[in-house]
Amino acid sequence: MTHDTIIVLDFGSQYAQLIARRVREQRVYSELLHWDAPAEQALASKSVKGFILSGGPASVYEPGAPTLPAYVLESGLPVLGICYGMQLLAHNLGGRVAPSQAREYGPAEIELLDAHNPLFAGCSVQVAGDASQVASLASDLQPAPLPPATLPVWMSHGDRIERLPAGWQALARSTNSPYAAMGDPARGAYGLQFHPEVTHTPQGAALLRAFAVDICGAAADWTPANFIAEASAAVQAQVGQAHVLCGLSGGVDSSVVAALLHQAIGDQLTCLFVDHGLLRQGEAEQVIDTFQRHMQAPLVAVNATEAFLADLEGVTDPESKRKRIGNRFIRVFEEEAARIAAQWALPAPRSPTPALRAGASVLGTDEPGSPLPAPRTIGYLAQGTLYPDVIESASGSREQAARTIKTHHNVGGLPEDMTFRLIEPLRLLFKDEVRAVGEALGLPAEIVWRHPFPGPGLAIRVLGEVTWPRLETLRQADAILLEELHAAGLYRATSQVFAVLLPVKSVGVMGDNRTYADVVALRAVTTDDFMTADWARLPYDLLARISNRIVNEVAGVNRVVYDITPKPPGTIEWE
Ligand code: XMP
């Protein structure tokens, strides 16, 4: 793909991915690279139109602090530094950065000193003297002289610029920052002390758009339709005549992969749904039913519960659980691929519905009696790997690679001797882009807006050893939670909601009897990107209803707790 591109260099900000997503929301393609990624990687394509330097926790004078790669200024391309990125620009170009007397965290107001600057062209500003008056700088405020115009922004910085580099001008100031925005418009270089990427800066999207589209001149052509056309062409070129197996979980990512591949390569695709016994209540049937109602590709459904549970026997370490499940998935895929290929060589018996049993049943699209296809094999395995997974496991990000947080994301736990080649058509997309592509492909809301469900399923929500009875306990509690959430109309208002079975028992009293039974934790979060999350403020009466029902209806559970930990420092899953 050769879209005009804005490269975001990550200096360690928790918002770095968000910057790239916000630029893409303006339909300009953007990639995130670690700040010390090699120049060849950053300038690999002629379509790079500009750079954004993210914030970061360091101070430019600190020993070992991340530095500005020389190619950024040498390229002559427009550059926008945000927070630490701004300080790096000032530091490198002869300005002075110093610790701010008052650190600024949270909401602030900046006063624009050059409201005609192209960076502010799309902003709606507050005009001093009349807080209710909002004007568009591009139109209503022409011509000068301008009354002082202000913007609400989100600040988060310790250091600040004290002297501008030669040739730069102050574009905005705040109470604590004489240079809340600075620029050298002739070279298309800008710095912002605040964070345009967070929603607390309401005009942030307009600022990023002005930079990417007007100042960098990047084409706003990153649309779901363009992505689908290009990804389809790329898949066709990659697989040629080969056959592809797509692991289907029922979640949005694998469903979008399946729909995209089916559009691109038609009956060269077979989808495989593996019930590992670690699914939610009724989920296997639901996934198959939804697939059959909305998608045309052939589906093979396999029940491999016994094999997965045997692998998990006695295992309590979450990383081992993940690895064992990942390995077993691939072994099942390999077995099924061989079985499917063997069936192609036979006069294939077709069953009307996929049976969920050990073994496979193929739902074909061929008419009975049609000529048999030539024997084929399955060379590729399609996965719904997303861009955040790619970034997290990218070799360019040396610090991140060094600290394995969880080996979860699909790129992690594949066995080395796997016989498939991988195909990952969504590896450039963020989750919200996957949803947009799903909608453009015509997938229904029940798939597109489904909460994510982890590949290892309930194995990482049954803390400690995973046994069938404990899975059943969790399934019942989880089903009550989801039923009540739907009934309260809060499914779409939350991002991920589930129950966790804890590996401790607690004392209780039921009727006149003392109990000593299991504890269930409820987790409900809201998030944009699953990299950070907050706990959902579910209504107390809803929580009370759920707790009451779980304790009454689920045998062996006598206590329900609600997890009120944000991410960070917690994670969304408990394991
Ligand atoms: P954490 O727990 O890291 O989760 O905050 C972030 C998102 O990733 C999902 N997750 C997984 N997905 N395999 C997956 O496919 C895994 O092992 C896994 N662990 C976490 C989690 O559900 C959340 O959406």
How far is the centre of ligand 1, averaged over its atoms, from the C-alpha of 450 (Å)? 14
Q: What value does the mean pLDDT take over residues 424-448?
A: 95
Q: What is the mean pLDDT of the chain?
A: 88
413 Cβ inside 6 Å of ligand 1: no
- Model confidence at 445, pLDDT cuts 50, 70, 90, reads very high
Pocket test for ligand 1, best of 405, 431, 497, 530 (most atoms within 8 A of CB): 530
- Indicate whether residue 567 lines ligand 1 (CB < 6 A): yes
**At residue 528, does pLDDT exceed 90?**
no
Specify the residue with its C-alpha closest to ligand 1, atom 19: 408
Give this prediction's pTM.
0.83
Known catalytic residue: 83?
yes
* DSSP H helices in 345-406: 387-392, 398-402
List all residues 6 or more positions away from 545 whose beta carbon is below 8 Å from its beta carbon.
Answer: 484
Nearest residue CA, atom 9 of ligand 1? 454
Inter-axis angle of helices 305-312 and 318-344, nearest 10: 150
Report pLDDT for 45: 77
CB atoms within 10 A of CB 56: 24
The Å distance, Cα 323 to ligand 1 centre, comes to 14
Quote the pLDDT of residue 349: 44
CB atoms within 10 A of CB 323: 19
Lowest mean pLDDT among 101-115, 245-259, 475-489: 101-115
C-alpha–C-alpha distance, residues 363 and 355, integer Å: 10
Is the CB of 458 inside a 6 Å radius of any atom of ligand 1?
A: no
Using CB atoms within 10 Å of the CB of residue 84, give its burial: 0 to 12 exposed, 13 to 18 middle, 19+ buried: buried
* 350-401 residue pLDDT tens: 444 444 434 333 333 334 444 444 446 899 999 999 998 888 766 444 444 3
pLDDT band at 72, cuts 50/70/90? Answer: very high
Catalytic choice (3, 91, 195, 409): 195
Residue 136 φ/ψ, nearest 5 degrees: -90, 125
Buried b (16+ CB within 10 A) or exposed e, 267-280: ebbbbbbbbbbbbb
Shortest CA distance to 19 belongs to which of 391, 383, 493? 391
**Percentage of the residues of the chain whose pLDDT score is greater than 90:** 73
Nearest CA owner, ligand 1 atom 10: 454
CA 562 – ligand 1 centroid, Å:
19
Atom 3 (ligand 1): residue with closest C-alpha? 571
Q: Tell me the C-alpha to C-alpha distance, in Å, between residue 346 and each of 225, 341, 379.
A: 39, 9, 19
Instruction: Inform me whether the pLDDT recorded for 24 exceeds 60.
Output: yes
Q: H-helix or E-strand containing 50?
A: strand 48-53
pLDDT over 70 for what percent of the chain? 87
- Best of 317, 406, 567 to mutate for ligand 1, by most ligand atoms within 8 A of CB? 406
Q: Is 496 in the pocket of ligand 1 (CB under 6 A)?
A: yes
For ligand 1, whether the C-beta of 152 sits within 6 Å is no
Cα of 407 from ligand 1 centre, angstroms = 9
Pairing between strand 513-526 and 496-510? antiparallel
Model pLDDT, residue 366: 37
Sign of CA dihedral 302, 303, 306, 311: positive
Q: What is the pLDDT of residue 408?
A: 44
Kindly indicate the confidence band of residue 404, based on its pLDDT and cuts at 50, 70 and 90.
very low
| pLDDT band per the 50, 70, 90 thresholds, residue 125 | confident
Rounded to whole angstroms, how far apart are CA atoms 199 and 201? 5
State whether the beta carbon of 572 lies less than 6 angstroms from ligand 1.
Answer: yes
344 CA distance to ligand 1 centroid (A)? 36
Distance 454 CA to ligand 1 centre (A): 5
- Identified catalytic residue from 31, 197, 334, 575: 197
- 197 is annotated as an active-site residue: yes
* CA of 200 relative to ligand 1 center, distance in Å: 27
- Please check the confidence at residue 406 and state whether its pLDDT lies above 60: no
201 close to ligand 1 (CB < 6 Angstrom): no
